[in-house]
Amino acid sequence: MGTSYQAVGWNRQKKIYDWFIFGFCVTYLGIFISLSSIFNSQVTFETLLIRSTSTLAALLLHVILSIGPLTRINTKFLPLLYNRRHLGVTMFMIAAIHGSFSIMQFHSLGNVNPLVSLFTSNTRFDSLPGFPFQALGFFALVIFFLMAITSHDFWLHNLSPKVWKTLHMFVYAAYFLVVLHVMLGVIQFETNPMFVIILLIGTAILIILHLAAGTKEVHIDNVKFDMETDGFVKVCDVNDIEEDKAKMFCIGKERIAVYKTQGKLFAVNNVCKHQNGPLGEGKVLDGCITCPWHGYQYLPHNGQSPPPFKEKVSTYDVMIGGVTVWVNPKPYPEGTERPGATIAIPRPVDEKISESLILNN
Amino acid sequence: MNKSEFYIGWMPKAPGGFRRLVRKYLLVLLPIVVALAVAIALSQKKFDTGSFEFGKLTEVKGIYSRTPVPNLKIVNGKDIWGNYSYITVPLIGYGKHGADGVIAEMEKDKNKSFEQRQLTLKGTLLYNDGKLLMQIDANDKPLVNVGDMASQDLLPHVEDLGIQTIKGEIVDPKCYFGVMKPGQGKPHRDCAIRCILGGIPPVMQVRNNKGEANYYLIVGSSGEKMNEAVQDFVAEPTELQARVVKYDDWVVMYVNKEKMHHISFFSLIGYDTQPATCGKKCLN
């Protein structure tokens, strides 16, 4: 979190992350270009540039799309998620080299504007093998461009988290376009099945990871809460929640995180205002609920980010009956202060005995 | 792993458990990246040996003819039987353009027709698989000399080979014979279409079942340009019926627009027709 916008709020972790991105990209490009030049010596510079950047961008896209579900499956992958936008912008820049150079190579110096040529050269929209695959790649690049230029928190706040998240979910549409771009393009020319096999494996890995992560979410969402008293729903035992941590519940349409801290329970909305991160997987640090995705913080009793920050989440009533925790899933307006529920501290047994002796005497 | 560990990206250091798992992930990812780079690089189809002498201008002297496509017939003496030794060089323009515009400008400038005249032109050569083409660019001032009319015995030898049905792929000869690699197939389709729509004469590439390629210049049934008519057929398996005419070392197909059809890729496998064989035979 920051009180003002910077292009990149550099810290040690970000630098390490970016150095790894750089190292992996250089390794891939170095090997691809060297081997292509040695074993396919007739290759031209233009083709090397177009193919090395396209395949690297596709590889990075698969890595990017795998990070989300990996962190849902195991939160220890969170360091990969925190700076994922750096990976995304890198992928866009590499894809942009591929796209712009392809447009130059295949459409410039002709009798019409290159962008007009892109959409008017191949007009076989009625044929699957003849389909104009370059236009598909162009639209994918447009999506990546919009995502890259809006990747900064400035846009997140100004577009609103909902619009921003919706826009960035278009990455899946872009991925679909990329797969079609490859399948209807170069794969129709190359005779080695390796290209199809690699693409299918990549897609299969992403589908499996997303299904695994989704299954975990569905498991939380499908928990039934039957016992209701005055709108309150029985959710768990007090002892099920660790100190300074939370348990998450999906009651009706409400995603709620019940935190235990400083002898009390507080219920807040589980969805972080930054990028919809799961607040219930966070921790109370310095008295604040801290989102595990990007470290956004909220005060447990009112769901407000500590000043000067302005993010707010909804709060809920919570109460304890014996050792049972009850939550009312009706949300209060974002940032509404709630008292929480005090956890009764069980007195030691010897204290009870001495009290009984005094009474008997 | 310590369950109480908690990661926050804005802190300078990730907890040990997080660092260890990410390190393992990177150690798995690195060989995958290397393996993919190796596999993809080595799985690519081999590129043709075509050459485009980019940045190098060559002067050539020959007899200009605008039909069936603008070309220069370069004669290099006679062989031991007294026959002229020659090669016909189709002319193409800069970028994705035909040579017609440049030739027309030069004819206008000299106020005379170049048809069947000895011309010395300066341009960039491109060649592959026994075919030579030359790019002439107005910026290079390609016209070096306009000579006399050629003698009758140097004009193209024309031989009608009859109506033939041929299967193959329509390519733009500029990219195919040297400028781009690959200069054919689906990845190059848009470029080939743009080149052909820009005036570069379409060429039918036909492979026989020995893998040998033959090339046929495509014009309309009356010799008119077919550039726009072939747009939907470029870089796709195509069958066409045409009157096949041999012009010296090139074979020209006078194509009826109604007799062009898309065919499946599989119908090209094992294809070995008489015209394909003839095309090879025609290359004396």
Whether A292 sits inside 8 A of B180 (CB atoms) is no
Q: Which of A267, A297, A272, A293 is nearest to A285 (CA)?
A: A297
Q: Enter the DSSP assignment of A33.
A: H
Supply the CATH classification number for the domain B51-154: 2.40.50
* A290 contact residues in B (CB cutoff 8 A): 6, 8
CB spacing of B45 vs A124 below 8 angstroms: no
The CATH architecture to which A228-342 belongs is: 3-layer Sandwich (2.102)
Q: What is the average pLDDT value for chain A, to the nearest integer?
A: 91
Whether the per-residue pLDDT at B267 is higher than 80: the answer is: no
- How far does CA B189 lie from the centroid of its chain? 11
Looking at residue A221, its pLDDT comes to: 75
| Residue B182's pLDDT band (cuts 50, 70, 90) | very high
Q: What is the pLDDT of residues B47-106, one digit of tens each?
A: 989 999 999 999 999 999 999 999 999 998 787 888 888 999 999 999 999 999 999 999
Judged against a pLDDT cut of 50, whether residue A64 lies above it is answered with yes
* % pLDDT > 70, chain A: 93
pLDDT of residue A2: 55
Mean pLDDT of B239-268: 91
Residue B152 pLDDT level (bands cut at 50, 70, 90): confident
Domains of chain B by residue range = 51-154, 158-282
Instruction: Flag if B45 and A283 touch (Cβ within 8 Å).
Output: no
With cut-offs at 50, 70 and 90, classify the pLDDT of residue A11: confident
For A107, name the nearest residue in chain B, comparing CA atoms only: B191
The per-residue pLDDT for B270 is 64
Q: Which residues of A touch B26 (CB under 8 A)?
A: 20
**The token pair that represents B105 in the structure block:** 């400008």
The token pair at A221 is 């969402």
Compute how many other C-beta atoms are within 10 angstroms of the C-beta atom of residue A84: 20
Paired sense of beta strands B71-78 and B117-128, if any? unpaired
The mean pLDDT of B136-148, rounded to a whole number, is 96
Mean pLDDT of the residues in chain B = 91
Tell me whether residues B10 and A36 touch, CB distance under 8 A. Answer: no
Distance between CA atoms of residues A316 and A257, nearest Å: 9
Length of chain A: 361
Shortest alpha-carbon distance between residue B150 and chain A (Å): 34
What is the gyration radius of the CA atoms in chain B, in angstroms?
A: 26
Q: What would the mean pLDDT of B203-219 be, rounded to a whole number?
A: 90
Asked if B41 and B105 touch (Cβ cutoff 8 Å), the reply is no
DSSP H helical ranges for chain A: 12-39, 45-73, 78-82, 84-107, 114-120, 133-149, 153-159, 161-169, 171-183, 194-221, 349-360
Would you call A122 and B17 a contact, using CB atoms and an 8 Å cutoff? no
Residue B159 has pLDDT above 90, yes or no: yes
Contacts of A44 in chain B (CB under 8 A): 47, 180-181
pLDDT of A359 above 60: no
Residues 6 or more apart whose Cβ sits within 8 Å of residue A99: A137, A138, A141
Most confidently modeled of A323-332, B72-81, B257-266? A323-332
**Quick one: pLDDT at residue B282?**
39
- Contact: B25, A290; criterion CB under 8 Å: no
Residue A301: is its pLDDT beyond 80?
yes
Q: Does A360 score more than 60 pLDDT?
A: no
SS3 content of chain B, % helix, strand, coil (to 5): 30, 35, 35
pLDDT band at A227 (very low <50, low <70, confident <90, very high): low
Closest by Cβ to A31, choosing from B34, B190, B195? B34
| pLDDT for res A3 | 56
Query: Which residue in the set A112, A133, A292 is minimally distant from B7, CB to CB?
Result: A292
Which of A78, A104, A122, A209 to mutate against chain B (most B CBs within 10 Å)?
A122
Please identify which residue in the block is written with the tokens 């939907």. Answer: B232
Within 13 A of A154's CA, how many CA atoms are on the CB side?
Answer: 10
**Looking at the predicted structure, is the pLDDT value of residue B283 above 80?**
no
Highest-confidence segment of A71-75, A156-160, B100-104? B100-104
Q: Does the beta-carbon distance from A76 to B18 stay under 8 Å?
A: yes
Judged by CB atoms closer than 8 Å, whether chains meet at A117 and B194 is answered as yes
The predicted structure's pLDDT at residue A316 = 97
Give the max Cα distance, chain B.
Answer: 96
Q: Which 8-state DSSP code applies to residue B182? A: S
> Is B66 exposed, middle or buried, given 0-12, 13-18 or 19+ CB atoms closer than 10 A?
middle
Residue predicted with more confidence, A283 or A222:
A283
Phi then psi dihedrals of residue B237, to 5 deg: -60, 125
At residue B3, the pLDDT reads: 62
Residues of chain B positioned with their CB less than 8 A from the CB of A9: 10
Q: What is the dihedral of CA A50, A56, A58, A62, to 10 degrees?
A: 180
Asked whether residue A348 carries a pLDDT value surpassing 70, the answer given is no
Distance CA A258, CA A172 (A): 32
CATH assignment of B158-282, among 3.90.350, 3.20.20, 2.40.50, 3.40.600: 2.40.50
pTM score, two decimals? 0.88
Contact criterion met (CB < 8 Å) for B47 and A40: yes
Q: Which residues of A touch B180 (CB under 8 A)?
A: 44, 46-47, 105
- Residues A85-139: tens digit of each pLDDT: 999 999 999 999 999 999 999 999 999 999 999 999 999 999 988 999 999 999 9
Query: How far is it, in rounded angstroms, from Cα A134 to Cα B125?
Result: 30
Cβ burial, residue A303 (10 Å; 0-12/13-18/19+): buried
Cis peptide before B182 (omega within 30 of 0): yes
* Alpha carbon distance B106, B183 (integer Å): 30
Shortest distance, CA B133 to any CA of chain A (angstroms)? 19
Q: d(Cα A354, Cα A238) in Å, to the nearest integer?
A: 28
What pLDDT score was predicted for residue B233?
96
Nearest chain A residue to B12 by CA: give it: A12
Work out how many CB contacts closer than 8 A connect A with B: 191
Contact list in B for residue A31 (CB cut-off 8 A) is 34, 37-38, 41
pLDDT band at A4 (very low <50, low <70, confident <90, very high): low
Q: Crossing angle, helix A171-183 and helix A161-169, to 10 degrees?
A: 10
CB B229 within 8 A of CB B220: yes
pLDDT in tens, B64-73: 999 999 999 9
**Angle, to 10 degrees, between the axis of helix B16-43 and the axis of helix A12-39?**
20
| CA closest to A195 among chain B residues | B40
Q: What secondary structure does DSSP assign to A236-257, as a single string? A: EEGGGSPTT-EEEEEETTEEEE
Residue B2 is predicted with a pLDDT of: 58
Kind of pairing between the strands at B51-52 and B117-128: antiparallel
pLDDT given for residue A1 in this prediction: 54
